Amino acid sequence: MSAQQFRVGLDRFKVTTKTRAQIVFDGASRAALASIRLGSPITGAPGQPVDSEDLLKSWRMEPESPTVNVIFTDSPYAQSNEDGIARPGGGPYILRSKRGGRHSVKLTIMGFPRIVADIVAKLGTRFPGGG
Amino acid sequence: MLDRRLARLAFRARAAQLVVATTGSATLAATATGYSRSSGSFITDGFERGMEVTPAAFTQTDPGIIDLVTASALTIRGGRTPQTSGAGRSLTVGLPALRAWENVKFEPTQGRPYVDEDLVMGGGSVLTLPTRTGLTEQDGLSIWTWFGLAGMGPESLDRAATALTKLFAPNTKFVLSDGSVIVVRGDVLPHDGQITPVDGGWAYVQVSIPWRVTTRNAVAA
């Protein structure tokens, strides 16, 4: 292989790597949001309890920078639904929905490496030009 | 696959070993207002107001709530039955005596700390092939919500949360009776949250222990 060919291959590898990194970033971000909102077999998160869907829809994602997406909610009862503690009462926050459950945020955070591994596995390992 | 009952029992057994503060075996007296000592220090031993302390080798054995701590005296809410100084006694703060186990009806008692347990199952995957007999890996959370007394300062809950996270430090292992091994994860650390006051005279702190278990898959005939 000539130096020129090696350089071309390396440039192609750089582009491919950046593209794949972006795919993983976008895919993992969307999967994390879905895990919190709807639940996920990868993380085990049950998703948000559903009545009017206000809570579920309150969970959103916005880009903060090219490499940071922020997942957030402004629902005043999201915390109680997350940890099952009523506020301000402090007693148990009764789950009335037949869908969803508790601790989806915690499970998503804990299971994030699995989300990333799943996206990477689906991406495959082939690179243009062989290898 | 993980036997959830065995896992829950393992986490409970570990939590029951918790020591937040203790005198160890010491020479202690019970007074009309609490406990006293002539050597050693309750402050150095880690006692804080708001903690529930359990006496050993005293005539009075019920736990008491600490209202005030000095080096040589603990003031206990409601006082204590006086008993002259004696060796071989101890005062210990561990997991609260009142425990809200999952799916067991529980009513908190005003003026007494209590703890709530949650065992939360996470995702998993097959590690080795063939799948029929391969190793599987599953994640989960052991969540302990410690309800302390409101208005007593942060120290008692700070010490409780710290003691719990140390008790379940990363790489802590539980070998279950079926051979499964649960390990506290180190890639995602145990997390203790903010102290949060709620109505009813409580303030709580929640400690989440992330764990992972590897088991051998067995497909039923």
Q: In whole angstroms, what is the distance from residue B51 CA to residue A130 CA?
A: 65
User: B35-60 burial, b for 16+ CB within 10 Å, e for fewer?
Assistant: bebeeeebeebbbbbbbbbbbeebee
The residue with tokens 């790597």 is A17
Residues of A in contact with B188 (CB under 8 A): 109-110, 113
Contact B19/A at CB under 8 A: no
Question: Which chain B residue shows the shortest CA-CA distance from A111?
Answer: B123
Residues of B in contact with A47 (CB under 8 A): none
Contact A43 B122 (CB under 8 A): yes
In chain A the first and final C-alpha atoms are separated, in Å, by 14
Element of type H or E holding A76: none
> What is residue B219's predicted lDDT score, i.e. its pLDDT?
84
Is the pLDDT score of B69 beyond 80? yes
Q: In whole angstroms, what is the distance from residue B76 CA to residue B69 CA?
A: 9
Q: What is the DSSP code (8-state) at residue B218?
A: -
pLDDT mean over A102-130:
84
Q: In whole angstroms, what is the distance from residue B183 CA to residue B172 CA?
A: 6
Q: What is the DSSP code (8-state) at residue B132?
A: T
Contact A40 B122 (CB under 8 A): no
Is the pLDDT score of A126 beyond 70? no
What's the ipTM?
Answer: 0.77
| Residue A21 main-chain phi, psi, to 5 deg | -60, -40
Of the candidates A45, A90, A102, which has its C-beta nearest B202's C-beta? Answer: A90
The pLDDT tens digits for A6-47 are: 999 999 999 999 999 999 999 999 999 999 999 999 999 999
Classified as helix, coil or strand, A8 is helix
In the structure, what pLDDT confidence band is assigned to residue B24 with cuts at 50, 70 and 90?
very high
For residues B15 and B144, the answer to whether their CB atoms sit within 8 Å is yes
Is the pLDDT score of A130 beyond 50? no
Contact B141 A107 (CB under 8 A): yes
Percent of chain A clearing pLDDT 90 (strictly above):
73
Query: In the predicted model, what is the mean pLDDT of chain A?
Result: 90
Of the candidates A44, A83, A89, which has its C-beta nearest B123's C-beta? Answer: A44
> Which B residues, 173 through 212, put their C-beta within 8 Å of a C-beta on chain A?
185, 187-188, 191, 196, 198-200, 202, 204, 206, 208, 210
